[in-house]
Amino acid sequence: MKKMLMISYYAPPQLNAESILVAKTLKFLSRQFQVDLVTVGEEAEFKVDPFLVEEMGDDVQITRLSNPKPTSRVLRKIYRETVGRMSSIDNPIWLRAAETMMNMMVERGQYDVLYSRSQPGSSHLAALYAKKRFDLPWIAQFSDPWAHNPYHPYHGRKKQAIEAWESEVVQLADKLIFPTQEMLELYAAAHPTVDVAGKSVVLPHHYDPELYIGTEQETPSEKIRLAYIGDFYGLRSPEPLVKGLRVLKERRPDLVEGLELQVVGNVERTFHPLLEEAERTLGMTVQRVGQVPYRKSLEAMAQTDILLLVDAPSDVNLFLSSKLIDYLGARRPILGITSTKGTAGRLLQDYGWQVHHPDDVDGIADALELYLGRLDEQQARAESNSVENFSSEHVVGKLVELCQQAMQEQSNR
């Protein structure tokens, strides 16, 4: 079996989107490669989910490197600001440790391929070091934009430094992976001297169909449940949904009275009054469940009548939420409150689901009325839609093919 050196700052048991993707990827990737994973140790900013380690499997050799941070949220903020002023590199302590560790690991045994994932960008910088040092065939996968993220812009010297590092990663990586065509095109435009399109593939996020059914089934509710699985923060607000429900109540109060809204995830404190007022004025139950273990979130999806995808307002949505792919795997009706332009909107519309920009309140109300009036029809659509191309086995199979291609091209040089 071929041997892979994988670098991903986030990995199980951290409970965040990137770590979840790593768990599902490694479950299938480790069947084709002997994987040595370099990742972080305890990460104070995230909860842990032991199930993700179980999902990843026992066949991965893991090296966890410390990146000490304060446990206090206030002190962590001060720490981030201090590090940000002193260094343009995110996680510089961890990065130095990763470089040292890779020297030791490669000396102990030969690797056939190098695979890195981000965010954060320090994963790719560690892989960049390994590429320069050992000239391994390298696949770099971007879940989100790095130097050109519209929601997390950099400025001044830090922007210049990060753009330079990203340029070097894009140039030296043998293969690039992006979750959307829009993100690939963003990188191609940002790095015109590199044949980005020629070395890139689009691989979506993926779902594991085995994970949606739990051992304990919830007692069915008499009300129709709308559910948003994820966090509300910053520009990603529940306000468009609440406004749409208010319009619907004016038209069809009978429909709203039969609803309950469940939010499974963290809700920024500034949005608490909005949801509390909605519960009072709309006359429907609003449940704020908070963040739950990953498998519990999938079980919540499978027990929901209508799943809601809510994104921050944008003209073109460059991002593909991993949650959306999990939604497709749950086989429930989906309402997209997101830009109609971009991968997420296009994907939902291709499957016959309604998509409305967060500013289109009337459109959101129309969609809710349509779904609630024809719920059986919408559920039948969800069950009949072919989404197998988003399964973890299929998508990771494409990743394996890409790794094999990079190794073959290296041997032919």
For residues 196 and 239, membership in a common domain is answered with: no
Residue 214 scores a pLDDT above 70? no
Residue 337 scores a pLDDT above 80? yes
User: What is the mean predicted confidence (pLDDT) over 34-38?
Assistant: 97
CA–CA dist 304, 106 (Å, integer): 48
Alpha carbon 115 to chain centroid, angstroms:
18
The label of the residue with tokens 């500013």 reads 359
Task: Give 377's contacts (C-beta < 8 A, 6+ positions apart).
Answer: none
Supply angle C-alpha 74, 79, 81, rounded to 5.
100
For residues 408 and 365, membership in a common domain is answered with: no
For residues 98 and 21, membership in a common domain is answered with: yes
Q: Any idea what the CATH number is for the domain that residue 151 is in? A: 3.40.50.2000
Can you give the pLDDT at residue 220? Answer: 65
List the single range of 86-95, 204-213, 326-335 with lowest mean pLDDT. 86-95
For residues 318 and 260, membership in a common domain is answered with: yes
pLDDT digits 0-9 by tens, 356-369: 999 999 999 999 99
For residues 49 and 176, membership in a common domain is answered with: yes
In order, the DSSP letters of 256-281 are: HHTEEEEEES-B-GGGHHHHHHHHHH
pLDDT digits 0-9 by tens, 118-145: 989 999 999 999 999 999 999 999 999 9
In this structure, which amino acid lies at residue 217? Q
Q: Residue 166: which domain range?
A: 2-206+392-412
Can you give the pLDDT at residue 73? Answer: 78
For residues 80 and 190, membership in a common domain is answered with: yes
Task: Give 180's contacts (C-beta < 8 A, 6+ positions apart).
Answer: 202, 204, 318, 319, 320, 342, 343
Q: What are phi and psi of 22, to 5 degrees?
A: -60, -45
Determine the longest span between alpha carbons in the chain, in angstroms.
70
Q: How confident is the model at residue 208 (pLDDT cuts 50, 70, 90)?
A: very high
For residues 14 and 150, membership in a common domain is answered with: yes
Can you give the pLDDT at residue 132? Answer: 95
For residues 168 and 116, membership in a common domain is answered with: yes
Can you give the pLDDT at residue 344? Answer: 92
Residue 151 scores a pLDDT above 80? no
Peptide bond into 120 cis (omega under 30): yes
Of 75 and 353, more confident:
353
For residues 384 and 239, membership in a common domain is answered with: yes
State how far the alpha carbon of 240 is from the alpha carbons of 226, 270, 304, 398, in Å: 14, 15, 20, 37
Can you give the pLDDT at residue 155? Answer: 82
List the single range of 36-40, 151-155, 240-244, 370-374 with lowest mean pLDDT. 151-155
Alpha carbon 411 to chain centroid, angstroms:
33
Which tokens hold the place of 132? 């320069």
Q: What are phi and psi of 311, to 5 degrees?
A: -115, 165
In order, the DSSP letters of 192-242 are: TTS-TGGGEEE----B-GGGS--SSPPPPPSSEEEEEES-BBTTB-SHHHH
For residues 253 and 136, membership in a common domain is answered with: no
For residues 141 and 41, membership in a common domain is answered with: yes
Task: Give 302's contacts (C-beta < 8 A, 6+ positions apart).
Answer: 212, 213, 330, 331, 332
Q: Are 13 and 53 in contact (CB under 8 A)?
A: yes
Reduced to 3 states, what is the DSSP secondary structure of residue 247? helix
List the single range of 74-78, 273-277, 307-311, 398-402 with lowest mean pLDDT. 74-78
Q: How confident is the model at residue 218 (pLDDT cuts 50, 70, 90)?
A: low
State how far the alpha carbon of 165 is from the alpha carbons of 90, 129, 146, 172, 193, in Å: 12, 11, 10, 11, 15
For residues 196 and 235, membership in a common domain is answered with: no
Residue 91 scores a pLDDT above 60? yes
Burial annotation 209-233 (CB, 10 A radius, 16+ → b, else e)? bebbeeeeeeeeeeebbbbbbbbbe
Supply angle C-alpha 240, 246, 249, rounded to 5.
140
Please give the tally of structural domains in the chain. Answer: 2
Can you give the pLDDT at residue 150? Answer: 79
What percent of the chain clears pLDDT 70, i.e. is strictly above it?
98
Q: Are 355 and 338 in contact (CB under 8 A)?
A: yes
